[in-house]
Amino acid sequence: MIPLRIKVEANADQPFVVRLRSFETAVCEQRTEQLNPFDAALERVGPEGADYVGEGGPIRILGIDPSKVDGDVLLVNPRRGTADRLIRSSSQHNTFLVTERCDQICLMCSQPPKKHHVDLFPHFQTAALLAPEGATIGVSGGEPTLSKAQLFRFLQSVLEARPDLSFHVLTNGQHFEEADRDAMGHIERGRVVWGIPLYSRDAGVHDEIVGKAGAHARLLENLALMCRLGAQVELRTVLMRPNADGLFGLARFIASTLPFIRTWAVMQMENIGYGRMNWNTLFYDSSEGFDVVGRSIDLVRSRGIDAWLYNFPLCTVPEGYRHLAPATISDWKRAYREECDGCSLKARCGGFFEWHPANHGYSNLGAIQ
């Protein structure tokens, strides 16, 4: 698994953001323009680590090849001796975890909520401004809109400064209000996609899954608001036993009532956090019961709405639907199993989450020849 947190040594008192540059990259940029004040150039590599020097002072990276972090943007915590790789320059899967607080307790949550919160939006803004050209940056939690004012200011500021960037924000959709119209109006709509979950047409099923009474009604109100604001919405439905039988009913509801959404993503579960605790009661074997998934996807797409399968290994999907199952599992947590050896589609398959159990739950799994 690709490490997102690495060991560092830095002579500083407070956390700071820095972008690492190899000697070759630094020399190249110096020929055309000044290095960014947040850049640190590689000075030497020795057995004790890789030493970088920049305006913010020296920093030593430990335990990782400097070529693996060239161009990466780090949030360094000198007191802990660690750094989080907020932006990996070679990856398309960069996400800012802006909070671990949440007002829902979803049965399959992969990031169980915590009560504490440290506002790191200033650091996230600096990191975003240092991102590679044309990057799409994810924003996740917890629930990002619990810090709604900070989130809106962050998005507006970065998008104004970097016209080439875009964002994908995951939110439970519970906290939008008509009063947000002005703030959201200053955020360029075409460069932010809001990933919002809807698990069932049945309010009782949805509310039970998210652990919050009234969540379904509130969500539908806010989806209507997002429509009026012209926001781009990616509707997300994690496929589980409690909602599988109702998936086609949800598809009909989406097609008739929510035609403004940009995308509907039907997603397989992740075996971590609450998802691991509830795996045996929640996991739905789509390799055996794909029919309801296929019919639902077909209906929505027939009405002109894009629909996709996220986190589905290709061998668990009938051939006619594999083009709708892109490699969506982030590279840092993607893995393949022994059954994948020799598969002709492995190069374009998203594989499994690193922590997918040995008893994987799929009855039909194996290399495609």
Verify that 46 and 145 share a domain, yes or no. Answer: no
Whether 358 maps to a domain, the answer reads no
* Residues 188-214 pLDDT 10s: 999 999 999 999 999 999 999 999 999
Closest CA to 350 of 368, 333, 332, 329: 329
Verify that 64 and 139 share a domain, yes or no. Answer: no
pLDDT band, residue 114 (cuts 50/70/90) = very high
Q: What single letter denotes the amino acid at residue 91?
A: S
What is the predicted pLDDT for the residue at 117?
A: 82
Number of structural domains in the chain = 2
Whether 363 maps to a domain, the answer reads no
The CATH number that applies at residue 231 is: 3.20.20.70
The lowest-confidence range among 115-124, 270-279, 347-356, 358-367 is: 358-367
Whether 190 maps to a domain, the answer reads yes
What is the predicted pLDDT for the residue at 118?
A: 86
Verify that 208 and 78 share a domain, yes or no. Answer: no
DSSP states along 170-200: E--S-S--GGGHHHHHTS-GGGEEEEEE---
Whether 292 maps to a domain, the answer reads yes
Closest CA to 206 of 172, 257, 166, 157: 172
pLDDT band, residue 32 (cuts 50/70/90) = very low
Task: Supply the mean pLDDT for the chain.
Answer: 94
Stated pTM of the model = 0.94
Verify that 13 and 139 share a domain, yes or no. Answer: no
Verify that 124 and 11 share a domain, yes or no. Answer: no
Residue-number span of the structural domain to which 107 is assigned: 94-353
Verify that 132 and 266 share a domain, yes or no. Answer: yes
Closest CA to 76 of 19, 36, 29: 19
Q: Examine the fold and report which residue of 54, 87, 120 is the final residue of a domain before the chain moves on.
A: 87
Closest CA to 118 of 93, 87, 84: 84
The lowest-confidence range among 32-46, 217-231, 288-302 is: 32-46
pLDDT at 105 over 70: yes
Two tokens, residue 273 = 């956090």
pLDDT at 29 over 60: no
Mean pLDDT of 120-124: 97
